[in-house]
Amino acid sequence: MNAWQTHRIESALRDENPTVLRRLTAGFAAIGGVQFLPGYCVLLADDPTAQRLSDLPRPKRLAFLSDMDLLGEAVERACRRLDPAFKRVNLEILGNKDPFLHAHVWPRYAWEPAHLAQRPVWLYPHDQWNDEQTRLHPRHDTLRETISTQLDQLRH
C-alpha cells in the first residue's frame, strides 16, 4: 500500500493523492481505486478528524452533502456520455471500514449481471475488487478527464 493510501485525506490536503480529481467546497472528489463499475468515485471530507457526517458543524455538513450531489451528477453525466448502458448513480456514506468521512459514488449499468444489478455493490464477488484488469490505471484517463470536466462545468 502506498503512503497516500494510508492517509488519503492528509495526502489530498498536501496535493499528494494521485486519485484526486478536484478540490470541492468541503472535500476532494477522487476516482476510485477499482473501476469494475467504470466511473466509481469517492468524496473525501477535507477534515481528517471527521469520522461521521455528524462530526462536522452543520454548515460544513451541508457543504459536504452538496459536494456529494455535485460529484454524483458529474459521474452520471460522464458515464452516460461514455457508456449507453449507464442507468443511474448510487450514493452511500457508510464508514464501516475506513475511519474517515467519505461518500461512495457508484455508477450502475444495464450490463451488470442480473443477480447483482439490483443489489448493493458490496455484494460483488471478492475477485472483482482485486482484479488487476479493473484497478485504476492510465487506461482510465479518459474517464478521469470526463468526470473532471463535468465537475468544472457544474461548478460554473
So what's the pLDDT on residue 156?
A: 85
Give residue 80's domain range: 3-155
pTM value is: 0.95
CA–CA separation, 152 and 56 (whole Å): 25
CA–CA separation, 27 and 42 (whole Å): 10
List pLDDT tens digits, range 2-36. 666 777 899 999 999 999 999 999 999 999 999 99
List pLDDT tens digits, range 108-143. 999 999 999 999 999 999 988 888 989 998 999 999
| 86-92: strand order across its sheet | 20-23, 27-31, 41-45, 102-109, 86-92
- Number of folded domains that form the chain: 1
Q: Residue 75 belongs to a domain with what CATH number?
A: 3.30.428.10
For residue 1, name the pLDDT band (cuts at 50, 70, 90).
low
